[in-house]
Amino acid sequence: MSSVAYTVGKLAQASDTKAVTIRYYEREGLMPSPPRTRGGYRLYSDVHLERLLFIRRSRRLGFSLGSVKKLLEIADRKDAPCVNVDMQVSQHLSEVRERLAQLSALEAELQRLSACCEGEGVISNCRIIEALSGDDGTSDTPY
């Protein structure tokens, strides 16, 4: 069941991660140092794969490596209260929502900017350049 051995490349393949990234996670203390062959090749097991998948999933959800580290530490202490995890996730969620709002405002402004130029003139008449030069975006009087 859990006796499969992976080299770093195989683990990379199995987890859709690059080998250099796995070694980077080891340096950063997110992955444990695995046993080695006589020649020094890393040998990973399914346990390592599980942990790596945990890291990658958390990263895809936008958690920083620091947060992932905390999450892993909490996950490793099975008797720790669950509320710590919930707090991490909730905080991250509110950060994501804030970023979402900012990005949404940005999109509106870019669209406004994009719509104001027909692309037919030259720079000296370009409303986009005008807007970037001085319009703070809250006014409808250009320049």
Partner DNA sequence: CTACACCTTATACTGACTATAAGGTCAAGG
Partner DNA sequence: CCTTGACCTTATAGTCAGTATAAGGTGTAG
Residues that bind DNA (CB under 7 A): 7-10, 12, 18-21, 23-24, 36-42, 59, 64-66
Residues 34-73: x/- map of binding to its own copies (CB under 8 A)? -------------x--xx-xx--xx--xx--------xx-
Question: What are the structure tokens assigned to 16, written together?
Answer: 């859709």
Question: Applying CB under 8 A, which part among 13-21, 22-30, 33-41, 80-88 lies near its own copies?
Answer: 80-88
Radius of gyration of the chain (CA): 24
Residue 65: contacted member of its own copies, DNA, none (CB under 5 to 8 Å, by partner type): DNA
What is the C-alpha to C-alpha distance for residues 92 and 63, in angstroms, rounded to an integer? 7
CA 129 to each of CA 113, 132, 136: distance values in angstroms, whole numbers, following the listed order: 9, 5, 12
The DSSP 8-state label assigned to residue 44 in this structure reads B
Question: Applying CB under 8 A, which part among 4-12, 17-25, 35-43, 77-85 lies near its own copies?
Answer: 77-85
Give SS3 for 45: coil
